[in-house]
Amino acid sequence: MTIKVIATQAFDNQRPGTSGLRKKVVEFQQPHYLENFVQATFNAIGDCNGKLLVVGGDGRYYNRQAVQIIVRMAAANGFGKVMIGQGAILSTPAASCVIRKYNACGGIVLSASHNPGGPDEDFGIKFNGANGGPAPEKVTEEIFANTTSITEYRTCESADIDLDAIGSARVLDTDVEIIDSVTDYADLMESIFDFDKMRSLLSNRRFRMCFDAMHAVTGPYAVEILEKRLGAAEGTVMNAVPSEDFGGGHPDPNLVHAHELVERMNGVEPMAFGAASDGDGDRNMVLGSGFYINPCDSLALLLANAHLIPGYKGGVNGVARSMPTGRAVDRVAAALDIPCYETPTGWKFFGNLMDAGKITLCGEESFGTGSDHVREKDGLWAVLFWLNIIAERNQPARTIVRDHWTQYGRDYFTRHDFEGVDAARAAEMIDALRAKLPSLAGQTFGELTVESADDYHYVDPVDGSESAKQGIRIYTQDGGRIVMRLSGTGTSGATLRVYFDRYQPDPALLGQDPQKALASLIEAAHAMACIEQYTGRVRPDVIT
């Protein structure tokens, strides 16, 4: 086996988005495409000699081939050891857990998360640093800069390694270890939650639950934790075997894509609790009986009940939410007298706050919640958090949420996605709206008057780094808010995301349909941004 230095040419489209580089599989399969990005990442790490690298993915099509390529390149770049999840699989939170536990210099996570998988669908790659979290923008920009100037990469000739058998192999001077991808993560969960309490909840046959792994990466983790360690009935986890194309579905845990779960929840034997997670296991959706829990409310509720969970009994330092996320958690933080931070969309912005000990819990409206137990959002963790609360309070999810609203008021929230929009037109729309910002205040749209409007500019409170143009925010005089931004995770065309939220303290008005409660804001957004004129769409494709 000898090291080979391969001449290559830069590709001009390898800038990581909200969460790594995501492209169609065919694009990644082009000669040198994946290799260039991996070498650019290794170059950004600097000296790789003797270091430990963690590698795993969400099991989608091309995952295994990509891992073989990365192993050869890691060996040729001098890594001391590469740790890989069995079957080339590691959920995103499990990768974060493993990086931290074994003091790796970082990890490569192969995932396009909620995007569909298969030969004609999406693939993705991202780098997580030594803290286990997504590389901050400073690093992703350095990786991108490297991709634009790359002229060669290092690899070696060696047979494929067996990704399925636990054990060790050697490639050049590098140890390659295949690890059980579930145990470390399951142990971590057991150290945070009260498994005895949850076991007795799940052994009560009147408490029926179901977890939809959506044919994605969480299946093996959920079976081990829910069915084996917590004793839930066999079959509690549905769609539990990861498949390369997620069973032909769209592994996005929302009411539209997790419809099988919804049907089972409401079926002949209705369930008390349901949950689903996404392609790479970092997102969650939780459902009570006949009751959907909005992720923004979920974050607020986790904070309000954190004192019931063994892992958080010591207190919560602070919380953070991404800017477009509804502001329910802010009210709980104020009541607890702890700081509440606002960050741009994407988990990479939470890492600094956690590393500095400023926050313990954080979340996003896009079904992502997490804590400083790892540096990624964590779907199964959130589900276990809910189960632990339910077990401790001995109340159904619906009652817990209703009581919360009665105490704090309700922050109505919804997100409208316009998918597959022409990218140039979408960008024009945002530019046009940005140009209008200085004159929006005081203008009236339907029954609403704009109070203020700006383009969100973030300054990291820990290292002072700045991120501009992170979403347009429009506040109305009645306390409403509209946020608009373009998705940074898609692979074709553009997706326009429009977020709406408004606080409702009146106890008589807590049970409305969010689409109705927010109708005036929705109308105003269409009018001020001319959504139909630019996108040709009157209605969104997905509402969450």
Interface residues toward ligand VG1, by CB under 6 A? 18-19, 113-114, 278, 282-283, 322, 345-347, 364, 366, 368, 487-489, 497
Please tell me which residue in 19, 91, 113, 371 is annotated as part of the active site.
113
Distance CA 295, CA 293 (A): 6
Given Co ion, ligand VG1, none, residue 347, with its beta carbon under 5 to 8 Å by kind, binds: ligand VG1
CB of 320 to ligand VG1, least distance (A): 13
Residue closer to Co ion (CB basis): 278 or 411:
278
Would residue 113 show up in a list of annotated catalytic residues for this protein? yes
Number of residues that bind Co ion (CB under 5 A): 5
CB of 16 to ligand VG1, least distance (A): 11
Q: Which residues of 363-389 are buried (b: 16+ CB within 10 A; e: fewer)?
A: bbbbbbbbbbbbbbbbbbbbbbbbbbb
Query: Does 236 contact Co ion by CB under 5 A?
Result: no
CB of 365 to ligand VG1, least distance (A): 7
Given Co ion, ligand VG1, none, residue 227, with its beta carbon under 5 to 8 Å by kind, binds: none
Q: Which position's Cβ is nearest ligand VG1? A: 113
Question: In the chain, what is the greatest distance between 2 CA atoms, to the nearest angstrom?
Answer: 73
Residue closer to ligand VG1 (CB basis): 19 or 131:
19
Residue closer to ligand VG1 (CB basis): 497 or 502:
497
Q: Which position's Cβ is nearest Co ion? A: 113
Work out the angle between the directed axes of helices 183-192 and 379-393 (0-180°, nearest 10).
30
Structural contact between residues 499 and 413, judged by C-beta atoms closer than 8 angstroms: yes
User: Cα-flanking dihedrals φ and ψ of residue 43, to 5°?
Assistant: -60, -35
Q: By C-alpha distance, which of 325, 289, 310 is closest to 456?
A: 325
CB of 258 to ligand VG1, least distance (A): 14
Distance CA 395, CA 381 (A): 20
Strands 472-476 and 448-455, by their bridges, are: antiparallel
Given ligand VG1, Co ion, none, residue 239, with its beta carbon under 5 to 8 Å by kind, binds: none
Residue closer to Co ion (CB basis): 111 or 520:
111
In 393-525, where do the E strands start and end?
A: 410-421, 444-445, 448-455, 458-459, 466-467, 472-476, 481-486, 494-504
Residue closer to ligand VG1 (CB basis): 233 or 542:
542
Q: By C-alpha distance, which of 315, 316, 276 is closest to 292?
A: 276
Binding string, residues 269-288; x marks residues near Co ion by CB under 5 A = ---------x-x-xx-----
The structure tokens 């350095």 sit at 142
Query: Does 147 contact Co ion by CB under 5 A?
Result: no
CB of 348 to ligand VG1, least distance (A): 9
Residue closer to Co ion (CB basis): 34 or 216:
216
CB of 293 to ligand VG1, least distance (A): 17
Q: By C-alpha distance, which of 65, 453, 116 is closest to 280?
A: 116
Residue closer to Co ion (CB basis): 126 or 410:
126
- CA Rg, the chain, in Å? 23
- The encoded tokens of residue 8 equal 């290559």
At CB < 8 A and 24+ separation, what contacts does 265-269 make? 265/210, 265/289, 265/290, 266/290, 269/208
CA separation (Å) from 476 to 142, 254, 525? 39, 28, 11
Given ligand VG1, Co ion, none, residue 93, with its beta carbon under 5 to 8 Å by kind, binds: none
CB of 255 to ligand VG1, least distance (A): 16
Distance CA 446, CA 35 (A): 53
DSSP 463: T
Binding string, residues 98-137; x marks residues near Co ion by CB under 5 A = ---------------x------------------------
What's the distance, CA 87 to chain centroid? 22
Q: By C-alpha distance, which of 277, 308, 101, 284 is closest to 192?
A: 308
Element at 137 (helix H, strand E)? helix 137-149
Given ligand VG1, Co ion, none, residue 411, with its beta carbon under 5 to 8 Å by kind, binds: none
Residue closer to ligand VG1 (CB basis): 153 or 347:
347
CB of 91 to Co ion, least distance (A): 9
Q: Site residues (CB under 5 A) for Co ion? A: 113, 278, 280, 282-283
Active site residues: 113
